[in-house]
């Protein structure tokens, strides 16, 4: 379920104030602009931006970079971890019809969410939890010794084959 915040901190640009050679916008918006609060995907850190806004005829063009850590739950070991998310080529282009402000918030949010991994993994080689005892195998082996058990069963299988 999504929880809506909709408070201040939207990324609005006053297009009437953009100088001819463009305006550099560097700063950070609060995590609440992400408007995403799911158990396994949250944003708890500010959204940093480094943008250049330019007027192009009757349109405004904003390009640059955005970044924020996403707080995710590892799909293997269930640990909650922060993953840095970077949008290296943010582009916003909007024809102007006399408005004073354009609001980039929805575009920034969408681009960040597109950068999220399909399956969250705390590390690429996360060992996950033991399916038998639930121990986090990243912290060391458990006492189930399932791999040894598996080997024993293989030996039995081979034996059966020989007896036939």
At 15 the three-state DSSP class reads: helix
How far is CA 154 from each of CA 21, 49, 61, 126, rounded to the nearest angstrom?
Answer: 72, 56, 64, 27
Taking the complex as a whole, the smallest distance from the CB of residue 155 to Zn ion amounts, in Å, to 21
Question: In this chain, which of 24, 26, 59, 144 binds Zn ion, going by CB under 5 A?
Answer: 144
Decide whether 45 or 76 has the Cβ nearer to Zn ion. 76
Q: Does 117 bind Zn ion (CB under 5 A)?
A: no
Helix (H) or strand (E) holding 64: strand 59-73
How far is CA 61 from each of CA 15, 23, 82, rounded to the nearest angstrom?
Answer: 10, 11, 31
Taking the complex as a whole, the smallest distance from the CB of residue 114 to Zn ion amounts, in Å, to 23
> Which residues, 6 or more positions from 134, have their beta carbon under 8 angstroms from its beta carbon?
none
Decide whether 57 or 131 has the Cβ nearer to Zn ion. 131
Outline where the chain has alpha helix (H): 105-114, 146-163
Question: In this chain, which of 17, 132, 152, 154 binds Zn ion, going by CB under 5 A?
Answer: 132
How far is CA 99 from each of CA 9, 61, 121, 157, rounded to the nearest angstrom?
Answer: 19, 15, 43, 76
Q: Does 55 bind Zn ion (CB under 5 A)?
A: no
**Count of chain residues binding Zn ion (CB under 5 A):** 10
Question: In this chain, which of 76, 87, 107, 109 binds Zn ion, going by CB under 5 A?
Answer: 76
Decide whether 94 or 138 has the Cβ nearer to Zn ion. 138
Taking the complex as a whole, the smallest distance from the CB of residue 27 to Zn ion amounts, in Å, to 33
How far apart (Å, rounded) are the C-alpha atoms in residues 22 and 116?
30
Question: In this chain, which of 53, 66, 70, 77 binds Zn ion, going by CB under 5 A?
Answer: 77
- Which residues form the interface with Zn ion (CB under 5 A)? 74, 76-77, 122, 126, 130, 132-133, 142, 144
């Amino acid at each position: 379920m999504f929880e809506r915040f909709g408070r201040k901190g939207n990324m609005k640009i006053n297009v009437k104030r953009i100088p001819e050679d463009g305006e550099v916008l560097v700063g950070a918006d609060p995590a609440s602009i992400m408007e995403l609060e799911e158990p396994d995907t949250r944003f708890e850190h500010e959204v940093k931006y480094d943008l250049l806004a330019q007027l192009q005829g009757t349109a405004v063009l904003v390009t640059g970079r955005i970044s924020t850590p996403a707080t995710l739950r590892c799909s293997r070991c269930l640990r909650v971890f922060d993953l840095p998310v970077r949008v290296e080529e943010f582009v916003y282009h909007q024809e102007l019809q006399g408005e004073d402000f354009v609001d980039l918030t929805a575009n920034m949010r969408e681009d960040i969410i597109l950068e999220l991994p399909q399956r969250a993994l705390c590390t690429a080689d996360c060992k996950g939890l033991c399916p038998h005892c639930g121990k986090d195998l990243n912290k060391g082996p458990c006492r189930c010794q399932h791999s040894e058990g598996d080997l024993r069963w293989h030996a039995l299988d081979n034996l059966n084959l020989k007896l036939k």
